[in-house]
Structure 1
Amino acid sequence: MKLLVFSLLVSVSLFAQQAGDRGANPLPAPKNLKLLAANTDIRFVMRSFNEALGVQCTHCHMEGDFAADTNPKKEIARKMISMVRLIDTSFPSSAGVFPEGYHEVDCITCHRGNIKPETKAPRKFYNRGNSLGEPPPAQRPGVSLKLLPPDTHVHGAESLMGEFRDALNVDCGYCHGGGKPLETDANPRKDIGRKMIMLVRQINANFPGTGVFPVGDQEVTCWTCHRGDPHPVSLGNKRYDLPAAKQ
C-alpha cells in the first residue's frame, strides 16, 4: 500500500513538473506577422490555408525559416488575405476580421483544394424544359442591362445567363420570375445578382490581364465560388466528416 501511494505521488509530481515545463517553455511567438494579429491561432489558420489550396507549408514559406519573406508566394498569400477581407465587406453576415470570426467567403470558397481556382462549370444545368427536349430561348437583345455591355450574349445557347444558371444550379426564375417579363426588377435577387457582378469585377481587378467581367479573360467567375450552390462554401459552413476512429 505504501509503495502504491509513493508511486502515485511520484507520478503526480512528474506530471506537475512536465506541465510546469510546458508552461515555462511555450511555443515561440510567431514572427513577421504583417497582417495577422499577434494572438492569431497560427497553427489552425495555416492548416486551413493548407487544406484550401491542397499544399504544404513550404508552398509559401521557406523551409527552416517560416518567418522569412524569401518565398514570393508568401507575399501573394498576404494579398489574398487582404482580398478576402475586402470581399467580406460585401456580406453583412460576415463577422470579425479574417481569419477571425465567421466569413461567407474565405480561401476554401474559391480554391477547393487546388492552387488555381476553377472558372467554368463542368456541366450544364438543365431545367424541366431542357430535359423534355425543348429548344433554348431564342437569342434576342438584352433589356434593362444596367451593368452588362449592350451586345452581351444574354439569352440562348452558350449565353451569360446560361453560365449563371450553371454556376448556381438554378433556373432563370431564381433571379427573375415574379410572373412578369424577365427585364423587370420584381425579384430582389436580380439586384443581388448585379452586386455579385460588381464583386466579381472587383476581385478580378487584383489580377493583371483580366477583362471587365464578363468580357475577356477572368481569374474568378460565378462558378469559382458557387460550384453549383446558391450559397458558397466557406470554412465556417463547410460540411466535415468526423475523423476515422484510431485503431
Structure 2
Amino acid sequence: MQHLIWSLMISVPLFAQQPGGATNPAQSPKNLKLLDPKTDVLFHMQTFAAALGVQCTYCHVQGDMASDANPKKEVARKMIGMVRLIDTSFPSSAGVFPDGYHEVDCSTCHRGNVKPEIVAPRKFYNRANSLGNPPPAQTPGVSLKLLPVETHVHGADSLMGEFRDALNVDCNYCHGGGKPQEWDLNPRKDIARKMIMLVRQINANFPGTGVYPQGEQKVTCWTCHRGNPHPESVSNKRYDAPAPKR
C-alpha cells in the first residue's frame, strides 16, 4: 500500500433512462461490505472522489461498480476502517464513518490529491522570530516520554519546529504557563503526546515506515493540520452558499 487512499467503494448510476426520456431510481447498491445499505452511497462516493481528485474508475471497474477486480477498492475499504479507528481518538465525533460528524475524514489528509503531503511548505515564525531576536538557549530534551532521547527537539530543523509549522502556533501553545518547557502543566502537551501515538498508529498501516518521528513516514502532523490547530473535514469545513436557482 503506497499511499493513503480514501476512495470510491461502490457507486451506481443515479438514474436509469427509460423509453420516452423518463427516469426511474437506480437499483440498490451491491457488494457493500462496510457501508450501511441505508446510507447515502452516492453522496459519500462523491465526497471520496473529491477528496482524492479522482473519478469513479480510480477504484471501480468501468461498467461494473460492484466488482472487486480493481485492487484499489480493497485499499479504500481498509482506509475507511482506518478512519473509523482514528475516530475513536476524538470524543466529538459521532456516528460510524462516513455517516455522522467526524473530525477527520478522507479530505483531511488528501486535500484533492491521491498522495497526502507530509512536509509543510513554509516555516512558522512568531513575533520574536520576525523581529530577528535570537532564539532561546538550546538544552537537551527532557521529559521525553515518547520520543527517543537522541531526538533533535530544539533549534533549526527540529521536531518541535515541525510541530510549530504544522499547527501554525508558537511553542507556548503546548508548553508555556511561565514554567520550564519540560513541565507538564499545559494539558495540550499530553494531547500532543496522544497525537504522536496516533501518527504512529496510522503509519503502522503502511509497510516500510519507521516509528514516528524516525524513518520514512506516510503521514505527519502537517498531513492533517495544514497550518491549523483544528484539522479540516467535510463535517467542519466552511462552504460557500449555494448559487441562486434560475
Please tell me whether the aligned partners of residues 138 and 155 of structure 1 are also in contact (alpha carbons under 8 angstroms).
Answer: no
Q: What does 1:95-174 align with in structure 2 at a 5 Å threshold?
A: 95-174=94-173
AA of the residue aligned to 1:96: G
Unaligned runs of 5+ in 1: 1-20
Provide the C-alpha distance between the structure 2 equivalents of 1:78 and 1:172, rounded to a whole number of angstroms.
38
- 1:48-103 deviations in Å (ceiling 9; x for gaps): 00111011111110100000011111011001000000000000000000001000
CA distance in 2, matches of 1:210, 1:134: 37
- The aligned residue for residue 184 of structure 1 is 183
> 2:92 maps to what in 1?
93
For residues 131-157 of structure 1, what are the alpha-carbon distances to aligned partners after superposition, in whole Å with 9 as ceiling and x for unaligned?
011233444210000000000000011
Contact 1:108 1:233 in 2 (8 A): yes
Q: Are 1:81 and 1:98, in contact at CA under 8 Å, matched by a contact in 2? A: yes
Q: If the length of structure 2 is used for normalisation, what is the TM-score? A: 0.89
In the TM superposition, 1:226-245 aligns within 5 A as 226-245=225-244
Residue 73 of structure 2 is matched in structure 1 by 74
Shift of 1:115: 0.5
CA distance in 2 between counterparts of 1:241 and 1:117 reads 25
Structure 2 counterpart SS, 1:200: helix
Q: Distance in 1 between matches of 2:45 and 2:133?
A: 49
1:52 aligns to what SS in structure 2? helix
Q: Deviation at 1:111?
A: 0.4
Once the 2 structures are TM-superposed, how far is the Cα of residue 244 of structure 1 from its aligned partner? 4.0
Q: Secondary structure at the match of 2:144?
A: coil
Report the Cα distance in structure 1 between the residues aligned to 2:245 and 2:162, rounded to whole angstroms: 44
Q: CA deviation at 1:118?
A: 0.3
Distance 1:139 1:63 in 2: 58
How many equivalent residue pairs?
A: 225
Q: Corresponding residue for 1:27? A: 26
Q: Give the 3-state SS of the residue equivalent to 1:48 in structure 2.
A: helix
Q: Residue by residue, what CA displacement relative to the aligned partner does 1:95-133 show, whole Å, maximum 9, x if unpaired?
A: 000001000000010000110000010000000111011
Query: After superposition, what is the alpha-carbon deviation per residue over 1:187-228, rounded to whole angstroms, capped at 9, x for unaligned?
Result: 000000000000000000001110000000100000000000
**Alpha-carbon spacing, 1:26–1:244, altered in 2? closer, same or farther (3 Å):** closer
TM-score by length of 1: 0.88
The correspondence of residues 185-200 of structure 1 with structure 2, limited to 5 A, is 185-200=184-199
Residue type of the alignment partner of 1:135 = P
Give the unaligned 5+ runs of structure 2. Answer: 1-21
Q: Which residue of 2 aligns with 1:5?
A: none
1:206 is aligned with what amino acid?
N
Identity of aligned residues (%): 78
The CA deviation at 1:26 is 3.0
Amino acid at match of 2:119: K
1:246 shift after superposition:
6.0
Structure 1 runs of 4+ with >6 Å offset: none
How far is the alpha carbon of 1:245 from its aligned partner?
A: 4.5
* Other structure's SS at 2:25 match: coil
Contact 1:138/1:156 (<8 A) preserved:
no
| Higher helix fraction (1 or 2) | 1
